[in-house]
Amino acid sequence: MAAGGLGLAIIVICTTGIGISIAANKVKGIRCALCSDPVSARLTREHNDANVLALGAGIVGANLALGIVDVFLHTPFSEGERHCRRLAAIQALEEETVR
């Protein structure tokens, strides 16, 4: 199972995860979330339909990172009404601002 139904897992890593998540979010269609715990990974998939996971290699240890990745890849988008509205607003903003 891949996040966002992309058919592949997109995971980006740098020392803190901050720079790479900012860079990834410059790409149209990418909703990258920097996660340092499994709860954030679950919630960003359920609530925001994040399709890219950013990790900070200098922040998160290997075992924790594996847990975060597992949760991220196996958590579906909730498709709740407020989450769908949020996603539509994000996509509309992206259409207006990203080329």
Residue tagged 């269609």 (tokens)? 29
Give residue for tokens 């597992």: 70
53 by DSSP, 3-state: which? strand
- The C-alpha atoms of residue 62 and residue 8 are separated, in whole angstroms, by 21
Annotated active-site residue in 47, 74, 83, 84 = 47
Q: Is 14 a catalytic residue?
A: yes
Active site residue 47: yes
Place of tokens 């891949």: 2
Amino acid at 99: R
Of 14, 32, 83, 84, catalytic: 14
- Tell me if 23 sits within 8 A of 2, measured CB to CB: no
> For residue 12, what are the β-bridge partners?
54
Q: Which residues are catalytic?
A: 14, 47
